[in-house]
Amino acid sequence: MAIRPNMTTSPCDWLYRDALVSAPPLVTTAPNPNVNKFDRIRLLRYLGLNTEDSVLVESRVDLDKHAGFLARLNKRSVRTFLRAGEGRGEPHFPIVTRAEFESACVPLLDQGYALIIAKPIDPAAATLAGCIVRRSRDFLVEVALGPGTVRRVTHEGCIDRTLELRGPDDPRCGAEIAGALDELTAAERRLADTLLLTNVLYEFSAYRHPVGWRSEPIIFWEIQGLGEQDARLDRFYREVVAP
């Protein structure tokens, strides 16, 4: 039986409880504050996974720094995170025009938010979105079908399919989920000698057309470790990816 989200707790607490054999009584799913959301995009890229083509803006000065990138985008996707501390329900703008960006997103810089500005990826073109937990022997996958973002699963609890899968060859996968699991298992093989990628949660979407920096139909938005694994990912990022 699937464990449904408890919407009074942090997003994806349900995945933590199901993924860990002996979770502590109180588990936080908030990413380690030492590694921010943009760092995690860089980690996904290091793993060889497709993610968004984006820049980080932490101040109005950074807008000038990335003026060339922004000038090419009549529309853009914007995710946010607090520069200090942790927050829940950070503002998210799947598609905004330049005018909407100036009026709705830029003021957030003065409220302590950093902006991750990406080439626009329209969630209306998604075929599914959700979360994958890599456990020690299998994968737990929960997705919402059709157009929309991962927040349908993590924030709204709209889950159409819950699957426990051996891997991409499991006949219950379907093409999109099999494609995502194939990417993850390939990353595990590449990193086998340096990083054990178990007890890890991924957020992902599948699209009808190629998206992201690698122009592929499967895109990964987030990676975080479960329990102590988050600190291991933090160290790996600081020691291997960031330098």
Domain that holds residue 177: 13-51+123-241
Q: Do 28 and 79 fall into the same domain? A: no
Q: Do 27 and 61 fall into the same domain? A: no
Residue 166 located in a structural domain: yes
pLDDT tens-digit series, residues 97-148: 999 999 999 999 999 999 999 999 999 999 999 999 999 999 999 999 999 9
Q: Dihedral (C-alpha) 209, 178, 155, 126: value to the nearest 10 degrees?
A: 10
Please state, in angstroms and rounded to a whole number, the distance separating the CA atoms of residues 132 and 187.
Answer: 14
pLDDT tens-digit series, residues 40-83: 999 999 999 999 999 999 999 999 999 999 999 999 999 999 99
Q: Do 95 and 45 fall into the same domain? A: no
Q: What is the pLDDT of residue 130?
A: 98
Tell me, what CATH number does 173's domain have? 3.30.470
Q: Do 61 and 157 fall into the same domain? A: no
Confidence check: pLDDT of 228 > 80: yes
Q: Do 142 and 237 fall into the same domain? A: yes
Percent of the chain with pLDDT over 90: 81
As for how many domains the chain has, the answer is 2
